[in-house]
Amino acid sequence: MIEADLKKLEDKGKAKILCRFFKTGKGEYGEGDMFLGIKVPDQRIVAKKNLNASFHELQKLLNSQIHEYRLTALLILVEKFKKEEEKVFNFYLKNLKNINNWDLVDLSCPRIVGKYLFDKDRSLLYKLARSDNLFEKRIAIVSTMYFIKENDFKNTLKFQKYF
């Protein structure tokens, strides 16, 4: 069980630092997020051990207030995307409300949203860029990192007017 693997790595001192770093106080952008204090490399190890996790289990993790649960689920989705692109992409979109901090966006959307939309209609990115939601806007622009790696800059430059 992924939660049990992550709980074993909990560091309460580090969790306090992460709460401040990720602005979880009242009225801050990360309000409501809870942390276990686990380093990303350790979360990657847990994710690699659990690549066969079901979408049901990943949904449970993404619905959690515990930040590391959501990040680990997203790391698993990045790997699952290599085999199930459309299913992972649609699942990701269904969970935009749970991808609500900068690291969650940055570590997942270029490899899922950006890669999926590279050779497809990109109107979804414009819808996200026009959103009032800070993290939907971020998903739009950060997803274009995949395009940039492929020498395609036009969408990134067009988004300038939305930010």
Q: What is the pLDDT of residues 28-77, one digit of tens each?
A: 888 889 999 999 999 999 999 999 999 999 999 999 999 999 999 999 99
Is a pLDDT exceeding 90 seen at residue 162? no
Confidence at residue 92, expressed as pLDDT on a 0 to 100 scale: 98
Confidence at residue 161, expressed as pLDDT on a 0 to 100 scale: 78
Q: Within a domain: residue 88?
A: yes
Which among 44, 66, 97 is the end of a domain? 97
CA 111, distance to chain mean position in Å, is: 10
Q: Within a domain: residue 102?
A: no
Phi and psi, residue 66, nearest 5°: -80, 115
* Shared domain check, 85 and 16: yes
Structural domain count, the chain: 2
Residue-level length of the chain? 163
The dihedral through the CA atoms of 35, 137, 72, 103 has a sign that is negative
Confidence at residue 159, expressed as pLDDT on a 0 to 100 scale: 81
CA 107, distance to chain mean position in Å, is: 6
Residue 69: count other Cβ atoms within 10 Å of its Cβ. 24
What average pLDDT does range 74-96 have in this prediction? 98
